[in-house]
Structure 1
């Protein structure tokens, strides 16, 4: 069951963000049906190792992660951004194998992601509720539904926290913490700093899958908002911003051009080489992850690191 599909604010946000300097489009709009499929393909590329590293850590430590929920009546698991459901299934299987159970709340703005993950969990006979909504709205609903029950485990995996810039990431964790009770937990997946070449290959792969994923955002604007972006006149750019410790994705105009977006009542000019900033992916050190959690008033329980791909899973307690 999926509840709470939000009203679209796509046009208003496009109108606002393309008037900014630098021009921007929000990364959440990358994930229409085609974008979600392209991202699934990215996760299988040899150069993008986040998903495989996180899956290795979850496979190795799933029972430790779910241990606080075992033999606790009324337990709840909430996943912020469920993707294709592979990771939550690993944890659900570990919980069931340990003799536990929990109701699962899935929060994602992609109906395709929710449907796919719900199907996976239903096959395991897990009780699941999907929320097509932004993270915080869905988390509030899930927390309200779980009030008075057992412990709640919130999952923020896939280094999704990296899409928030430094202060914004901390503020987001603080808001999550404010929603949790003293018996609750947060499992945070974070991509770690690694050599620049390795990072750029992950976000600008030789097959061009990530470029297609990025440019598909303009296809979506054209289709849903009556835009007239000439896709061939925009190129994919990925760069490492060392000062801000993040990979940035941009769409770069190859020529001077005017673009009209009917539903946004917007006409905007692009100069040659002008960019639209579409996504940030911040990278961390293990110590930075721990400090960010502490600054958000979490207590660290465990931190597991995949040394091969430089990825961390950190379990925080809300006590």
Structure 2
């Protein structure tokens, strides 16, 4: 089935609950220490492209390992589930998901629903996929999955939900359980979730993955300040902040910060807001939790989900979990 993708087909998803705007997040997170912002603001068009480049670095193993796992097991996963729909949360450029589509090359009728916050990336990716996989029907969804999944399309037949890149690790425990429970609620007994999780491992490996030698992660982190400048008429100087990635062993997570190199004043004209930074002041821009199989199973259990299949390399640096609702029996 040949598909001609048109930009007008990019469907906006109504939020199921209120999610703060960028301006509100800035007022809540940057005025007083400890300063922090949600990582979703990384992913404008430039940020999404930078992240794709990060995924190609030697240090950033999660994408490389997850990609290899998908290449090896996509056929088995697709054969087992035989989904009519593939809906991916935080789809980005769908680079790894292509392995699932290749496993479908001899079939038509599968519908792919990429769900992401960046319209430009959704449009470009949908156009590319329609050319590369003529058997695939692409129906992009524009929205923020952290705002809830209630208004996602109701899908008939079997569905495979896809949540890759260990993006679940960017959520605090309560937020992660909320998102997973919403997925569990909409899943039928035949549906499955394909979930990527990054595993706990030596600290030096983790730190290197979030501070590559090419400086791409630093540029990605600083790009957040460019987003603030553009959207809120700010005068942040990205070069006046350094990138720092630390491993919080107690909480089993990487924490990414922007750290002021000097005392400085920043104005956000849209908010009529002046921010004062002393040398060494930091902004927490991302957490990335690292899991054991036991901690992942506990988290999934809180949401009414259970691991059914486990795919991992010999070093167990990363895991793909095929997850079922607890009520299912296949």
| TM-score for the superposition, normalised by structure 2 | 0.88
Structure 1 segments (4+ residues) deviating >6 Å: 5-8
What is the alpha-carbon distance in structure 2 between the residues aligned to residue 176 and residue 86 of structure 1? 23
* 2:36 alignment counterpart: 24
Partner of 1:77: 86
Is residue 93 of structure 1 aligned with residue 105 of structure 2?
A: no
Distance (whole Å) between structure 1 residues aligned to residue 25 and residue 221 of structure 2? 17
Alignment match, 1:253: 260
The DSSP-based 3-state class of the residue aligned with 2:104 is helix
Which structure has the highest helix share of the two? 1
Hey, what does 1:199 align to over in structure 2?
206
Match of 1:236 in 2: 243
The 5 Å alignment of 1:137-286 reads 139-144=149-154, 146=155, 149-286=156-293
Distance 1:237 1:65 in 2: 38
Q: How does 1:102-113 map to 2 (within 5 A)?
A: 102-113=110-121
In structure 1, stretches of 5+ residues that fail to align are: none
2:303 to 280, 284, 296: 296
Query: In 1, Cα distance between the equivalents of 2:148 and 2:109?
Result: 21
Alignment partner for residue 41 of structure 1, among 40, 47, 53? 53
Contact 1:89 1:120 in 2 (8 A): no
Aligned equivalent of 2:4: none
RMSD over aligned Cα, in angstroms?
2.0
User: Any gaps of 5 or more consecutive residues in structure 2?
Assistant: 1-8
Aligned with 1:281: secondary structure?
A: strand
C-alpha distance in 2 between matches for 1:115 and 1:214 = 24
The reply to whether residue 4 of structure 1 matches residue 12 of structure 2 is: yes
Q: Which residue of 2 aligns with 1:120?
A: 128
3-state SS of paired residue (2:195): strand
The alignment covers a number of residue pairs equal to 312
Q: 1: distance between equivalents of 2:241 and 2:137?
A: 44
